[in-house]
């Protein structure tokens, strides 16, 4: 490329920059304009202007994009709709798969909370049925373990004693309460005090003598200030209750109150939703009703507990219709 070709290229560059709206550019001299006119003429003659034409084409390559070359002058309109749309589509479409994916990933957990994890069909006891003597010995050993247990740090420093359970070792019925109250903590026996008296009355009306049922609590130690046991405390103590049930292998388990329901059926559903039908714990039929302490505070619920007991009596054949 000779000097004139460089000048022509410079002129074309200036023109191009002007079209782009670049200000304060030096004005092309008249001589350069003349050279440009000559080269245009030469290139149109198809002579040695091939290289020039090609350089002009290169320089003017953006020219067909002149309309779009004005885009920088219209940055607002052009980008505005696009980025907004892009942002909206990003905000809507991008999180959407996440939101869809997350619930689907969480669904099994949510279902496990909503539904009990225990099998909804009968499953066998883990051990063969024991003799009365074997049961007594097994329960005696288990009681020693409970008395030595100090798993729940917030509880052991407040308890007077553990409350293991009482009753005949060969029985069809196991009654499960929640956690020991002050009287139970003092006497070491479940269902005593005023709520124990109401419990005895309900059993008598049902036709099941208290000395024919085994009675135990879900938690073996009294939580301070009678607070509701924590999940960790329930988890700590549940193996003892499960071991008692495995040794006793009852036909019927009656859960008195929400804590017993949580421990046996592994669900946080309310008693109101669970009562009125039998549930299953291994081969035992499980009945759910209100705790006598709650019935003392809400006497209107006594008729519901009585309905539950009547359901049990119909099951046992001691109540017709
Ligand atoms: S409540 Fe149960 S697990 Fe906790 S310290 Fe007492 S016996 Fe042990």
281 lies in which domain range?
132-316
- How many Å apart are CA 260 and CA 175, to the nearest integer? 9
> CATH code at 297?
3.40.470.10
In a shared domain, residues 288 and 163? yes
28 found inside a domain: yes
In a shared domain, residues 136 and 272? yes
In a shared domain, residues 304 and 236? yes
In a shared domain, residues 136 and 273? yes
194 found inside a domain: yes
| pLDDT tens digits, 282-315 | 999 999 999 999 999 999 999 999 999 999 999 9
If one counts the domains in the chain, the total is 2
In a shared domain, residues 46 and 143? no
91 found inside a domain: no
In a shared domain, residues 201 and 296? yes
3-state secondary structure of 163: coil
In a shared domain, residues 152 and 256? yes
- How many Å apart are CA 318 and CA 174, to the nearest integer? 18
Mean pLDDT of the region 212-234: 96
95 found inside a domain: no
User: Please, which residues have CB within 8 angstroms of residue 234's CB and are 6 or more apart in sequence?
Assistant: 218, 219, 259, 262, 263
In a shared domain, residues 168 and 305? yes
Tell me the best of 148, 151, 164 to mutate to test the pocket of ligand 1, counting ligand atoms within 8 Å of each CB and taking the most.
Answer: 151
Tell me the best of 143, 146, 177, 223 to mutate to test the pocket of ligand 1, counting ligand atoms within 8 Å of each CB and taking the most.
Answer: 146
pLDDT at 18: 61
To which residue do tokens 């929640």 refer?
178
Measured from the Cα of 155, ligand 1's closest atom is 5
pLDDT at 319: 86
In a shared domain, residues 186 and 309? yes
For ligand 1, is residue 222 a contact (CB within 6 Å)? no
> Which of these three, 50, 73, 96, is where a domain ends?
73
| pLDDT tens digits, 262-283 | 999 999 999 999 999 999 999 9
In a shared domain, residues 147 and 287? yes
């Amino acid at each position: 490329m000779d000097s004139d070709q460089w000048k022509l290229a410079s002129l074309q560059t200036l023109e191009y920059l002007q079209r782009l709206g670049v200000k304060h550019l030096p004005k092309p001299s008249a001589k350069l304009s003349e050279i440009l006119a000559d080269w245009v003429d030469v290139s149109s003659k198809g002579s040695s202007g091939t290289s020039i034409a090609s350089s002009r084409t290169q320089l003017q390559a953006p020219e067909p994009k002149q309309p779009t070359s004005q885009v920088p002058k219209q940055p607002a309109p052009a980008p505005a709709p696009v980025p907004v749309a892009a942002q909206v589509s990003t905000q809507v479409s991008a999180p959407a798969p996440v939101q869809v994916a997350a619930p689907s990933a969480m669904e099994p957990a949510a279902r496990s909370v909503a539904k009990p994890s225990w099998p909804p069909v009968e499953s066998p006891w883990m051990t063969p049925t024991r003799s009365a003597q074997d049961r007594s010995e097994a329960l005696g050993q288990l009681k020693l373990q409970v008395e030595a247990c100090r798993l729940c740090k917030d509880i052991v420093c407040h308890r007077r004693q553990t409350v293991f359970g009482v009753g005949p070792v060969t029985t069809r019925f196991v009654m499960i309460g929640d956690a020991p109250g002050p009287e139970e903590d003092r006497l070491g026996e479940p269902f005593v005090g005023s709520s124990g008296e109401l419990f005895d009355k309900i059993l008598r009306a049902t036709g099941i003598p208290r000395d024919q049922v085994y009675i135990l609590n879900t938690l073996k130690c009294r939580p301070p200030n009678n607070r509701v046991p924590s999940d960790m405390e329930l988890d700590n103590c549940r193996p003892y209750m499960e071991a008692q049930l495995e040794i006793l292998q009852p036909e019927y388990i009656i859960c008195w109150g929400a804590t017993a329901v949580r421990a046996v059926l592994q669900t946080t559903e309310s008693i109101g939703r669970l009562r009125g039908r039998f549930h299953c714990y291994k081969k035992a039929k499980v009945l759910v009703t209100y705790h006598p302490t709650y019935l003392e505070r809400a006497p209107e619920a006594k008729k519901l507990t009585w309905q539950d007991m009547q359901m049990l009596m119909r099951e046992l054949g001691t109540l017709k219709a």
